[in-house]
Chain A
Amino acid sequence: EAGVVQSPRYKIIEKKQPVAFWCNPISGHNTLYWYLQNLGQGPELLIRYENEEAVDDSQLPKDRFSAERLKGVDSTLKIQPAELGDSAVYLCASSFSYNEQFFGPGTRLTVL
């Protein structure tokens, strides 16, 4: 069974540019999560979807970050415009059960 797929794996952009990350969850997993992970830190939840609905986006900086999960499968996370402090690893996870999350490899973003 394929795991969580994320692309791109690495992205380097200049500040103020837009960037988008894509995630394809494990088939059958209704819940999808986007996390941000800084070096030496644990993942921090940005947004959680149940099917198409964003049920927890309280930690998403909505002035520059947006996300969508059309049709309740794939999801895209966008940053516009990117800032230097956005450099981090962006992780996507999916689950059938809230407590058993499966993570993708992450997208490592560098903002110059």
Chain B
Amino acid sequence: QKEVEQDPGPLSVPEGAIVSLNCTYSNSAFQYFMWYRQYSRKGPELLMYTYSSGNKEDGRFTAQVDKSSKYISLFIRDSQPSDSATYLCAMSGGNQFYFGTGTSLTVIP
């Protein structure tokens, strides 16, 4: 079983839609949860960073962590064509750090 599971998509939505991206994990030691955005032929860029359970909001982006279910989500409101990218979840704890495989998102104008 992989440490982090993420649906690779691809996901295609119309402009203005709400997007939900998700990851599950198996390691209870994970305490820090990150979302990275990666444009084609670029390195990943940190979007959101949360510690333990709860929600965090930054503009159109909301990250949710449910440690009891070992499930994290990233919501994008009012999605824009510029949001088209691959979204990677990442988790760390106990000196371990893992990325998900990424979900490819396309926002259609």
Number of residues from B at the complex interface, CB < 8 A: 23
A51 CB → nearest B CB, Å: 17
A101 vs B4: C-alpha distance in the bound complex, in angstroms?
18
In chain A, what residue has the closest Cβ to B32?
A99
Q: Decide if B102 touches A40 in the complex (CB within 8 Å).
A: yes
Q: How large is the interface on A (under 10, 10 to 19, 20 to 34, 35 or more residues)?
A: 20 to 34
A109 vs B90: C-alpha distance in the bound complex, in angstroms?
24
A41 vs B34: C-alpha distance in the bound complex, in angstroms?
16
Contact of B45 among A42, A56, A99, A103 (CB under 8 A): A103
Known: A40-B8, A105-B43, A106-B43. A99 touches B102 (CB 8 A): no
Q: Decide if A101 touches B46 in the complex (CB within 8 Å).
A: yes
Chain A 86-112: CB-based contact to B (< 8 A → 1; otherwise 0)? 000001010000111111111010000
Known: A40-B8, A40-B102, A98-B92. A93 touches B97 (CB 8 A): no
Q: Decide if B101 touches A42 in the complex (CB within 8 Å).
A: yes
Contact of B43 among A40, A41, A56, A104 (CB under 8 A): A104
Question: How would you classify the secondary structure of chain A's contact residues: helix, strand, loop or mixed?
Answer: loop
A60 CB → nearest B CB, Å: 15
Interfacial chain A residues near B63, Cβ < 8 Å: none
A residues at B contact (CB < 8 Å): 4, 40-45, 56, 91, 93, 98-106, 108
Task: Return the 3 tightest CB-CB contacts between A and B, nearest first.
Answer: A42-B99, A103-B43, A99-B32
Q: Give me 28 A-to-B residue pairs in the complex whose CB atoms sit less than 8 angstroms apart, sorted by A's number.
A: A40-B8, A40-B101, A40-B102, A41-B101, A41-B102, A42-B6, A42-B88, A42-B90, A42-B99, A42-B101, A42-B102, A43-B88, A43-B99, A44-B99, A45-B97, A98-B32, A99-B32, A99-B49, A100-B34, A100-B46, A100-B49, A101-B46, A102-B46, A103-B43, A103-B44, A105-B42, A106-B43, A108-B41
B residues at A contact (CB < 8 Å): 4, 6, 8, 32, 34, 36, 41-46, 49, 88, 90, 92, 95, 97-102
